Structure 1
Amino acid sequence: MKLNSIILSLFMLSTISYGTNSRVDHPNVAIPLPIQLFNGKDMNDWTAKIRLHETGENYAQTFRVEDGLLKVRYDGYDNFNQQYGHIAYNKPFGHYILRVEYRFVGEQAKGGEGWAWRNSGAMLHGQSPQTMLKDQDFPISIEGQFLGGDGTAERTTSNLCTPGTNVYYMNELFTPHCTSSTSNTYHGDQWVTAEFVVLGDSIIRHVLEGKTVLEYTKPQIGGGNVSDFDKNAKPDGKALTEGYIYLQSESHPIDFRKVELYDLSPYKNNPEKLNNIIQKVIK
């Protein structure tokens, strides 16, 4: 996108107030049909990459489809042993709205770290799974982190973590690994709908219940918090304009019942139409 288009797009998007009366209806703008990344039947369009295993090996059926759900399970593990898992949709995207419905269930796998209790995520702008090395722990990506509550304490979800990446947050280069959103806490096994507005290397928004809970710009490769990677896959400073979408396995069972995407790439050079479609999709 040209620089002036990016500036205009950012300006227009900054005026959106999701879930308020400021929403403007544009009846002549058609919403594109969502792409069902998870079809409820199989994982044929996805590739697993689990640490200590080769790309494509779905160790112990960590990822499986049962009862119309994409499930993450650890009944085949003796010990989790930092075998962080990810499953990537087999097509990259750059401009889109991603909607994920998830719930945490059951007990954490033996050997899972304390921080990984009821912890998962959707990885955005990720590297190709074919470029990940066998012992690599996380894909170089932007993580929309999912966290579940313990029934008492506050614990936000749809947070930001940055394995091998950096972003601009509050108009400054942000190098810490994670930052919290302003979301509510979601306790128990309830279903949660997380949405992500991703516009190339310009802006990313995390949305829950129609409200933006986190926003940042200029996603790029850089920083640490990823290990045992191919150095050729990590050119620090390179803008992330597109990438693969992953779902995560970090030792706690989780279900996904919807993973759908609205492709916004046809509208990326038309900020007004782009803005109108986003307003219609995010409710």
Structure 2
Amino acid sequence: MTRNCTRIARSSRLVCLLSALLAGAAAAETPVKDSADNEEWIALFNGRDLDGWTPKIAGHALGDNFANTFRVEDGLLKVRYDQYESFGKKFGHLFYKEPFSYYRLVIEYRFVGEQAPQGPGVWAMRNSGAMLHSPHPRTMGRDQDFPISIEAQFLGGLGDGKARSTMNLCTPGTEVVYQGSIYPEHCLSSTSKTLDGDQWVRAEMRVLGSGQITHFVNGEQVLEYALPQFGGGGVSDFDPAAKPDGQLIEGGYISLQSESHPLDIRKVELLNLAGCMDRSASNYKRYHVKSVPESCVYAEGAKPGKQR
């Protein structure tokens, strides 16, 4: 730019030079984004089939997708009851194959249609959820209704003008600390708006092991709590060995619920916040909050540095 400035009048040249200096300063202040900033989201749902997922429906063995409850059609993961004669407390959960501990989880869902025949009641209408921090699904009893877990509860408005928040917390076989003390009830409402109709909702959970868990709805924070641990009630027909009351829960399996109301899911994505925190490694990420040294990858001849 300075070379071009010499070809114009002096007064104009000064303006041109000043503009060049300001442009250079602005460029210097703009951070350069490198691979350490690139977020590597994992698509848990591939949009084609249920690869990586295993159903567990109350009254049925692990892996038995009773009445084709969970299916993939038109690129959507669908929860359906059109092959049920009656719901009959057949609460179901679709488990992902790997456990996680520190992560961000995004699920985009919508409620559709009508509740399954002979559903458990109005409370279960437009009601579903994502279960976090579960023990392995093989620990569930055949007739167990819910996995011992932290539930991020999805609720849709009933069109009656009454407030009904979504991304609430429910605690089957668990407890949490909310505002400094153990929360005594089974469910805790979020501050979200009531979402009526069949609109798509973006639910996000930020999970930091046995520390803090935060819920978001369409990008807005609506609930936060901490110290998830085994305890309390809200679950039946479980193996007591899978519920060591008072023990903090550092991580576990994620599952998607079938609770009698049809649901569509178009996205299930996870950003793992546990990983390499050594700046000298090729897979170092600034967004990692939990160090996993054995996950680090180094270029040939490179030496490990300090995990931050």
Is TM-score (shorter-chain normalized) higher than 0.5? Answer: yes
Query: Is the counterpart of residue 174 in structure 1 residue 183 in structure 2?
Result: yes
Report the residue type matching 1:205 in the other structure: T
**Structure 1 position 31, deviation (Å):** 3.1
Report the equivalent of 1:265: 274
The answer as to 2:148 corresponding to 1:140 is yes
- Tell me the equivalent position of 2:256: 247
Aligned-residue offset at 1:111: 1.1
Structure 2, gaps ≥5 residues long: 1-30, 280-284, 290-308
Aligned to 1:63: 70
Return the alpha-carbon distance in structure 2 between the equivalents of residues 237 and 64 of structure 1: 37
User: What is the RMSD computed on CA atoms of the aligned residues?
Assistant: 1.9
- 1:111 alignment counterpart: 118
Match of 1:213 among 222, 226, 238: 222
Question: Given the superposition, is the C-alpha separation of residues 268 and 85 from structure 1 closer, same or farther in structure 2, using an over 3 Å criterion?
Answer: farther
Maintained 8 Å contact 2:202/2:219:
no
Pick aligned residue for 1:155 from 152, 157, 164? 164
SS of residue paired to 1:109? coil
1:202 equivalent to 2:219? Answer no
* Equivalent-residue separation in structure 1 for 2:229 and 2:192 (angstroms): 24
SS in 2 for 1:130: helix
TM-score normalized by structure 2? 0.78
* Post-superposition offset of 1:175: 2.7
Change in CA separation of 1:249 and 1:242 when aligned onto 2, cut-off 3 Å: same
- The residue that corresponds to 1:95 in the other structure is 102
Q: Distance in 2 between matches of 1:155 and 1:275?
A: 35
Displacement of 1:49 in angstroms is 0.4
**Selected match of 2:47 from 33, 40, 48:** 40
Identity of aligned residues (%): 57
What's the offset of the Cα at 1:267? 6.1
- Is the aligned partner of 1:126 residue 2:109? no
The one-letter amino acid of 2:103's match is: Y
CA-CA distance at 1:32 after TM superposition:
2.5
Matched residues in 1 for 2:102 and 2:187: separation? 23
Deviation at 1:33, TM superposition (A): 1.4
Q: Flag the 1:213–1:26 CA change in 2: closer, same or farther, 3 A.
A: farther
Query: Would you say how many aligned residue pairs link Structure 1 and Structure 2?
Result: 251
Higher relative contact order (CA 8 A, sep 6+): 1
Gaps of at least 5 residues in structure 1 are 1-24, 277-283
2: CA distance between counterparts of 1:268 and 1:96?
15
C-alpha deviation, 1:191, in angstroms: 0.3
1:191 maps to 2:190: no
Letter of the 2:263 counterpart: I
Residues 165 and 189, structure 2, Cα contact 8 Å, conserved in 1 = yes
Residues 273 and 288 in structure 2, CA contact (< 8 A), matched pair in contact too: no
What is the rounded CA distance, in whole Å, between the counterparts of 1:268 and 1:203 in structure 2?
20
Counterpart contact for 2:201–2:218, Cα < 8 Å: no
